[in-house]
Structure 1
């Protein structure tokens, strides 16, 4: 037969185990529903064909015990049509007790799919979109639950700037040569600013190079058409027969312009290739 001290010790141990079990059961039963939100969307990369968005999904755990997010399902909707989707069914995001955790999910979409959803992108510098989806959580007692997430914003649609050869005129002529003025328009059709870091140009007539040069950086605001006036001095020996005839008579002459523009948008993740441009203009005395 057990002695009283042994019985008392066993009773204390059993009481402690029972209280701990009760606390654990109460903790499990008293489960609070976690929350999920899209806390940010950033552009990872973008070009003229597609864009990749990084979607930050934050899951908050208000409970006194750790939880796991089991799956993430997100759709990117344009005009109520899904144009991109990401599904991670094996994602195991651990969220500590009374804490938050963030997972970053990539969404890649093609602009041709956006155009199909909208009918056309011709009139859009940016398009509204919605990130819709859910986070699946595994909770004790409650089992698997789905937490809805939603985020709305706009996505810039990048377009290549355009260069136009507007005019060429003869400013002056003397024994040393001639001074021409070239007028170019550079149009920025985007919803963001860009810098024309450099513009290299060369002028020719009848296949003969007349000269050229480089322009320094020019800032062009979103939606702006910037007019550039470029002076060009041509020596008498480089004028060529056609220009010489024009200067000495009334014949018109055709001038050819070759230009290369190095463009840097204020959208840091997009760096287009240098823009090449060729054009001709008739020049008269």
Structure 2
């Protein structure tokens, strides 16, 4: 081996050794998942929000200009999304900021696209993609991310209206008891807190108010409510006598509450329309 070849061999060996021990390039932008939130949870779907901490470890100001991601549910791609920000989000040099990555999930799309998901009580998914940050010199920092999250498949509360028990009926007024029950078909507890209600009979409001306290609905559980009501026909209108003097009436029950749950607060709003019996006590 000639002297020149030996020198070339030694130089190559030195370069390979240096490459093997060289540290990985440091990223200027670091993404960290702070927390996950579920909002706008209904029987149609929800919004899964990833709250992300963005740290700028460089001496330059960077701005998030665009990002793209795909959403995978139960191992199957659901959809992909790409966004260019009209107003980039700035991260000062050596600074931090928080950004929210909201992902809207419609149950109908999941059930249609991913076999075997309908009927499940909860699903697993993740979002994976790329965030692109740009500095003042238009240099880009492309930062990959992958965040996972579990979410429930929420089902509406089942409302059942019972016959109205008319205790007293005179030309001057009535005393009656209105009863209904709520069943929670979900596999987690709901604490309704204050439950606002409105009862209409034949298009006339017969009662409205709020049921206070912790109105708990256990997972798969049911709770009954009995509301005693007194009406003065001279105050509310004499047409109510004709309504209560019939065997049945068109009933509309409106219910509203904000329920606490293991998945966060859930706004509930239901309207139940039925033909209800009016049973006069003997």
Range class of TM-score, shorter chain:
0.5 to 0.7
| Candidates 207, 215, 219, aligned match of 1:220 | 215
SS in 1 for 2:151: strand
Distance 2:175 2:62 in 1: 76
The 3 A distance-change label for structure 1 pair 81 and 194 is farther
**Cα displacement (A) at 1:97:** 3.5
| Candidates 112, 121, 129, aligned match of 2:108 | 112
Unaligned runs of 5+ in 1: 1-28, 244-252
Which has more radius of gyration? 1
Partner in structure 2 of residue 259 of structure 1: 252
Are the equivalent residues in 2 in contact too, given 1:83–1:109 (CA < 8 A)? no
- 1:182-220 Cα shifts (integer Å, max 9, x gaps): 43112344554334533233567xx9x9x9333432443
Are the equivalent residues in 2 in contact too, given 1:38–1:56 (CA < 8 A)? yes
Partner in structure 2 of residue 12 of structure 1: none
Distance 1:171 1:82 in 2: 59
Alignment of 1:201-280 (within 5 A): 201-202=199-200, 212-218=206-212, 219-222=214-217, 223=219, 224-231=221-228, 254-256=247-249, 258-266=251-259, 271=267, 273=269, 275-280=271-276
Alignment of 1:1-285 (within 5 A): 32-34=26-28, 35-43=30-38, 45-67=40-62, 69=64, 71-88=66-83, 93-116=89-112, 117=114, 119=116, 121-124=118-121, 126-136=122-132, 146-169=142-165, 180-189=176-185, 191=188, 192-195=190-193, 197-202=195-200, 212-218=206-212, 219-222=214-217, 223=219, 224-231=221-228, 254-256=247-249, 258-266=251-259, 271=267, 273=269, 275-281=271-277, 283=279
Distance 1:46 1:120 in 2: 17
SS in 2 for 1:113: helix
Distance 2:169 2:154 in 1: 44
Supply the RMSD in Å over aligned alpha carbons.
4.6
SS in 1 for 2:27: coil
- 1:41-61 Cα shifts (integer Å, max 9, x gaps): 445645553434443333333
The 3 A distance-change label for structure 1 pair 104 and 229 is closer
Are the equivalent residues in 2 in contact too, given 1:71–1:90 (CA < 8 A)? yes
Distance 1:70 1:165 in 2: 54
TM-score by length of 1: 0.59
**Cα displacement (A) at 1:163:** 1.9
Distance 1:179 1:93 in 2: 62
TM-score by length of 2: 0.60
**Cα displacement (A) at 1:64:** 4.2
